Amino acid sequence: MKIFVVENNFSNAPQNIAVPIFSMRPETSLLRNNQNFFYPEFTNDIVCGVSVFVRLSRIGRCIYKKFANRYYNEIGAGVCFTAVDMLQKLQTANKPADIARCFDFSLPVSPKTIPANEINCNNIDIKLIINNEIAQKYNTSQLLFDIDEIISYISQYVSFKIGDMVFIALPDTATKIKIGYKLQAYINNLKMLDFEVE
């Protein structure tokens, strides 16, 4: 299974972005079934951002945008964790910074999903609640490139297989987390994720 994360994809992104920017994560980065996130020992500064994801239901490559909605059938919510101190250290040293985002269990995903044909993918409200307060709230109508454009673009370079996941990370608004925090993610007021930081 391949995991793609698209970043800088909202209306407040730099204006020189002409195509979707994506990276890939290992399957071991997934944290499933509302399991708690254990704060890793190698960092003292972790931030998070809520995201939506689609799960691919067909094999495909070089997909035209007008057919892209035929290739995914589920919508879910996720949280992307980043070790900021590690990221800055690696970037300063001009070294690959993947480990700051790709570490084990850095990508909690909702145990349940919503059928794509039951929701307007271009008008999804998603919010992250931390300790019973809204920390992040966005709508997919703010996307610079919509989900179908993203699917089409990625498929020009990497073939999709059934079960692959594409995450659309939300605006560059990261929230610092600490041990003891409780995180909940909602799509259209439906609770999708509910876990704690230990």
- Which of the four pLDDT bands, split at 50, 70 and 90, describes residue 192? very high
CATH superfamily assigned to domain 3-196: Fumarylacetoacetase-like, C-terminal domain (3.90.850.10)
Mean pLDDT of 176-194: 97
Mean pLDDT of 12-39: 89
Q: How many helices (H) and strands (E) does the chain have?
A: 3, 13
Inter-CA distances, 162 with 2, 93, 113, Å = 9, 38, 16
Query: How does pLDDT run across 141-169, given as a tens digit for each residue?
Result: 988 899 999 999 999 999 999 999 999 98
Query: How does pLDDT run across 65-96, given as a tens digit for each residue?
Result: 999 999 999 999 999 999 999 999 999 999 99
